[in-house]
A and B are shown apart, each in its own frame.
Chain A
Amino acid sequence: MNLAHIHLLLNHWPIIGAFVGLFLFLVAFLANSDDLKQASLAFFTLIALLTIPTYFSGDVANEVLRESSTQLPKELVNTHQGAALLSLVFMELTGGLALIGLWQFSRMSRPAPVPVARWNFTLVLILSIVTAGMMTATGNTGGAIRHPEILSAEDAASAVGAIGSKIVPSVSHFVTASSRWVWPVLETLHFLGLILIVAAIGGLNLRLLGFVKDLPVAPLHRLLPWGIAGLVINIITGILFFVGMPFFYAWNPLFHLKMAGVVVAGATLVLFNCTSAFRSWATLGPGEDPPAVAKFIAASSLILWLVIIVLGRYLPLTQESLRAGP
């Protein structure tokens, strides 16, 4: 087994997930079921997290295929990459907004059942439709790479495909070559996003662990969207780093670990802090302690974010040793 298998293992989930999520989302609102609404929003965010390693493992799959003896349709690969990048970005935006919608269910300041804000519903709906469309293109082109027998001649040379094949090269050019300041500015944004995550998510977790016990939990929990914003900023800037220098990240084991950490820490945030599961802990007033399970989750989340920071800082080191060779 090599890293390309990870791509094969993951790559159907975001595509099918985008459609299943959209279907669930519509049914939930037609049936006006709060449980189903939460389920569909949580589903979107979890799929958005899974889409991250799916995209990143695609680069490895591409290299593995290039080194094999099979002839690769290069234009098609480029189009697939372009469609995948657009799908990824739209999936992350959908996931971020869905997470804020989901968070509204865990808020104590509104009476249950909590209505999802109308703007959130509309935005998630529009973005998820766009994402599903992009995912279709990604799936089509990706499938055609390995199954040329289903490809007709005009598909390969379509105008959309020609535009699609330019997406990744032009984003990469923008990040690394258009100006020497783009990369440093993105790095700065990545650090400011980190601070938002530490402030909002770290602050809440520290309180659950009993560090600033004279604060009530509910209002700290209200600051969570700032942490979600930080997470989305860091995912988007992180994607741009990867597109700019894929060779720097794609084979780096510390990067793989960091991404696994982001998926788990993100899922922890989704499932424990943003669903109605949090309501029983959100009622804690000053001086009150949450149950042990809440402390365990808070401690795990805190440690995971610290590990993610450390792994991120070590990436350049492993890059040096990778370049030096074994």
Chain B
Amino acid sequence: MSPGWGRITALARKDAAELLRNPGAIVPPLLMALGALFPGFLVIIGAPMFAGRTLEESGDFNEAVDVIATMPELVGLTGNALIQAFLFHQFALLLLMVPVVSATALATHAVIGEKQSKALEPLLATPISTVELLAAKALTPFLFALALTWGTAALYILGSLLLGEPGVWQTALGPRTFVLFVMVGPLIELATLLVSVVVSSRANDPRSAQQLTSLLILPITAVFIAQLMGAFVIPVAALLLAALGLLIMNALLLVIGVRVFQRETILTRWR
């Protein structure tokens, strides 16, 4: 193991041990995961159950059925299964809030926790470079948020297998889901992490930093609502374009993050 990687993992392991002992950091991401999972199942499974008729029988989707039947992921499905699969795809976007909220909660605690305990100065007196410090501060929140996002996505697909019509869950294994959770999700998470780190450098408590960073949820919410209103699912090409945009955004945020993580800046300007 290279000395630099050794220092990054040493600090990341420390952060992980601290986070696991900090309910204030861990509970919000877990609640967000639950909160993102349930609305889909409530609408797709719960509501028809309580109403005593299937989504197809409700007639609410009559106009959309012809359009959504042409979606590549849903080809071959008909009737209630088609509508369920369509809605599962729409609600999958909500799961992107999990990496945003998780990364925000964990990264702000990881940075502001150091400030509050006044642990940064002795830390900066070690041979750790500022880039290593930035990487270490991002690594634990990144891995934790990614695990939670993928875990939530796995539960979502498992739920659609157990509760959905036959054939519905397989539609979640296409390229759209792959791009959403393997490309867009981690890139949103990284952007959130970097924004959280930059905001945390100027904030004194995790909550005020989280309030600012949580604004990143707005675009996701807007797209989700647009999907519901327009009865469409974002195509794979649009998701790839979003991933490219996020990649550029992350590069810019990384430059800002590295500047914020200069020893002198941390000691003299962080408040």
Pairing of A with B: no
